[in-house]
Amino acid sequence: MTFTAQILTLYPEMFPGPLGTSLAGRAREEGKWALNTVNPRDFTTDKHRSVDDTPAGGGAGMVLRADVMATAVDFASGKQPNAPILAMTPRGKPLTQARIRDISSGPGVTIICGRFEGFDERLFEGRNIEQVSIGDYVLSGGEMGALVLLDACIRLFPGVMGATASGDDESFEHGILEYPQYTRPQIWEGRIIPEVLRSGDHAKIAAWRKQRAEEDTRLRRPDLWERRRDASDQSPSGAQGKDKDKE
Ligand code: ADE
């Protein structure tokens, strides 16, 4: 079965965009994933074809109507009822590599792209929709977020990444950042590749990489580092570790 991405967007011309080239583009040509866009404007009933209206209670901008969006969502999700429905919004839960892995191993995804000031909240009360954010900044619409999410999923499909197939070693897969990488030339502007990486001693190399991954995570991403500590504190072996720390 082909993973199918259905995108609800007022700007269908933004797709596949960058996903039409490189790994994702090739994977699409090979039938590893398929793309459908659905324009909510096609589900309007008034003569102006309006998808949005002014915010209740006043304020700037426009809000996407629950009735129009729900009709478009029902149409799209009816085509793949077992795929999760996501809405891109800065109010959503931050996307993680674990969630990406989960989505990429499923039948597909329906993604609703917001524009303007956001969605009428009743859409989320009336439908089973997961609100997701790609980071703590505000985009002009959800389309870029949808592209980011899809790119992260597509590279995990079997056979898309070639030699690095599983991606097991990379940043976030173990809740921490990846270790730093080096390649030839051996000396560049007087900087030399760390000796251990040239040693051929695989055990030493693995130990060095683990240590650097942990150190960089602790310094650059204290949030990830804390979360990892908390997670290991809660596991049976981690609980022992914590007791030991206290002694
Ligand atoms: N739409 C606007 N900002 C967004 C964000 N940070 N994540 C997902 N969708 C968005």
The answer to whether the pTM exceeds 0.85 is yes
Q: How far is the CA of 195 from the centre of ligand 1 (A)?
A: 43
For the CA of 135, the closest atom of ligand 1 is 6
- Nearest-angstrom CA–CA distance, 111 and 85: 6
Q: Is the CB of 90 under 6 A from ligand 1?
A: yes
Q: How confident is the model at residue 229 (pLDDT cuts 50, 70, 90)?
A: confident
Q: Which of 68, 67, 85, 82 is nearest to 6 (CA)?
A: 85
Helix (H) or strand (E) segment spanning residue 191: strand 191-192
Residues 11, 112 contacting (CB under 8 angstroms):
no
Helix (H) or strand (E) segment spanning residue 112: strand 108-113
Average pLDDT of the segment spanning 187-197: 98
Q: Is the CB of 142 under 6 A from ligand 1?
A: yes
**Does pLDDT of 147 surpass 90?**
yes
Q: How far is the CA of 79 from the centre of ligand 1 (A)?
A: 25
Average pLDDT of the segment spanning 136-165: 93
Q: Is the CB of 118 under 6 A from ligand 1?
A: no
Tokens of residue 157, six digits: 């499909």
Residue 58 backbone phi and psi in degrees, to 5:
90, 180
**Does pLDDT of 155 surpass 60?**
yes
Residue nearest to atom 7 of ligand 1 (CA): 133
Q: Is 120 exposed, middle or buried (0-12, 13-18, 19+ CB in 10 A)?
A: buried
Residues 45, 13 contacting (CB under 8 angstroms):
no
Residue nearest to atom 6 of ligand 1 (CA): 90
Q: What share of the chain has pLDDT > 90, as a percent?
A: 85
Q: How far is the CA of 32 from the centre of ligand 1 (A)?
A: 27
pLDDT of residue 240: 47
Tokens of residue 171, six digits: 């940043």
pLDDT in tens, 23-60: 999 999 999 999 999 999 999 999 999 999 999 999 99
pLDDT of residue 237: 65
Q: Is the CB of 145 under 6 A from ligand 1?
A: yes
